[in-house]
Amino acid sequence: MLPEFKNESFVDFSKPENRKAQEEAITAAEKQFDRVYELFIDGKDVKSDRLYKSYNPANKSQIVGTFHKAGKHEVDLAMDAALRAFEKWRWVSPKERAIVLLKAAQLMRKRKFQINAWMILETGKSWIEAEADTCEAIDFLDFYAREMIRWSEIKGVTPVANEFPELRYLPLGVGAIIPPWNFPMAILTGMTTAAIVTGNTVLLKPASDAPTVGFQLVEIMREAGLPDGVLNFISGNGAEIGDYIVQHSKTRFISFTGSKEVGLRINELAAKPSPGQIWVKRVIAEMGGKDTIVVDSEADLEDAANNVVASAYGYQGQKCSACSRTIVLEDIYDKFVDMLAERAKKLTIGPGKVQSNYMGPVINQASEEKVLSYIEIGKKEGRLVTGGNKIYDEGYFIEPTIFADIDPGTHLDQEEIFGPVLAVIKAKNFDEAINIANSTEYGLTGSVYTKNRYKIEMAKNKFHVGNLYINRKCTGAMVGGHPLYERYRLESRRHGLSWVIYAGQISE
């Protein structure tokens, strides 16, 4: 019998043996930079006639890996393989499918340092951010395996006299898995294995900025005993094959995490039936965020300042749950801005391979240009408190930046930047702070710092986000405890019921 699910513990890097193991894993990964990765279709390595390269954002001329680039022909090969595999995999018992995930979790535990190393080098993560990513991936494998077993045993049918009704959950078919680069192991693993353990087969198109990390899962699932054709890895350019995968008549569902613009396009394309399509495609789209921490005058300001900075600058603010704006009540506003600036100025910046660096680079040149353009906008819309500069020409490094006196409705208040830029907004009272927090079209996560129980209850009822945290940071959702649901406001929230997850510290 399986023990109850428990979140994976982080490696303690204060121990010399763990530091040495991580350093050795980074060195070992660097020695593999000349590797050429093939597509993985129907259990076989497949070459295309084109290649593309993945680079280290901390050293933009350094090639991390070279990949064969899938086109429409390779997508068709992968789709045919997935369709054939589905006709067998769908009939494998839920427990047997779950066993594959449990084996994969064990393999991933053994390769933590290796997986961390590839994330550090390919996506610019710090040691602890990479470790958290790998632990979350392990959690998804363990959690989804147990959930599949649990749901296979649920018999939630209302009894009917003289009948013997049954409830069975059936897999859908072939799914397109399109994960992001910012959680290149965790979200990729969660999206892929949730589909697989429920009996579906998948076409996995990894993010173009993180294919090397994604390939680690392919190797693990292969070793865990996943049959050929269930997982097909088709690296390539989203602009070239993304639409084709989504519009393919045999694609049954699409799981996507990324920008609002791409997510809405996928939703639009999937809604239009293709020739030969006999079903309505399902789309699961998680599309970014403009997340807010509200700081009340009745709060522990030291704790709030520490966690606003952690939420804003962890992984350079490149999380859909990152704190992009903080709304502060006017009677503590000036003091709190100073507290934020003091902490931001102390953050160390540099390549993630150096353990002492808290912040690394943003992911690529396009991201760097976007963030710098918003910094210029911020100089016109508010007061630059600290940061605002690009540093270290060899990589895409930008200082942690704070803009104060940002008005509601401006660019820095409303638009997703996805970088180390924090907008600070003043509110007259708690009611106004919640109204400002709700004023964007995004609503992924949020946090409120206050000791006032009435205000906490008000926030629970009025702060419209998927995950609302009380007196803790707005990043760091834990598998099983904080199921993170995107709440982009074009959804029909106003026309029906929706849910919110509350989490927070028990102690004052």
* Residues carrying an active site annotation: 286, 320
* Residues contacting 78, CB < 8 A, separation 6+: 39, 41, 42, 70, 203, 232, 234
Give dist(CA 267, CA 201) in Å, integer: 21
What size, in residues, is the chain?
A: 508
Give dist(CA 440, CA 491) in Å, integer: 13
* Residues contacting 342, CB < 8 A, separation 6+: none
CB-facing half-sphere around the CA of 266: CA atoms within 13 A: 28
Maximum CA extent, the chain: 76
Give dist(CA 118, CA 58) in Å, integer: 13
CB 120 within 8 A of CB 353: yes
| E strand or H helix at 72 | helix 72-89
- Collapsing DSSP to helix, strand or coil, 150 comes out as helix
Give dist(CA 277, CA 282) in Å, integer: 13
Give dist(CA 279, CA 251) in Å, integer: 10
CB atoms within 10 A of CB 59: 17
- Collapsing DSSP to helix, strand or coil, 213 comes out as helix
CB 131 within 8 A of CB 11: yes
Q: What is the DSSP letter of 316?
A: G
CA dihedral 453, 458, 460, 462 (to 10 degrees): -170
* Residues contacting 38, CB < 8 A, separation 6+: 45, 46, 47, 68
Helices (H), 332-452: 333-344, 365-381, 411-414, 430-437
| E strand or H helix at 320 | none
Give dist(CA 399, CA 171) in Å, integer: 47
* Burial class of residue 7 in the structure, from the number of CB atoms within 10 Å of its CB (0-12 exposed, 13-18 middle, 19+ buried): middle
Q: Which contacts qualify for 156-163: CB closer than 8 Å, 24 or more apart?
A: none
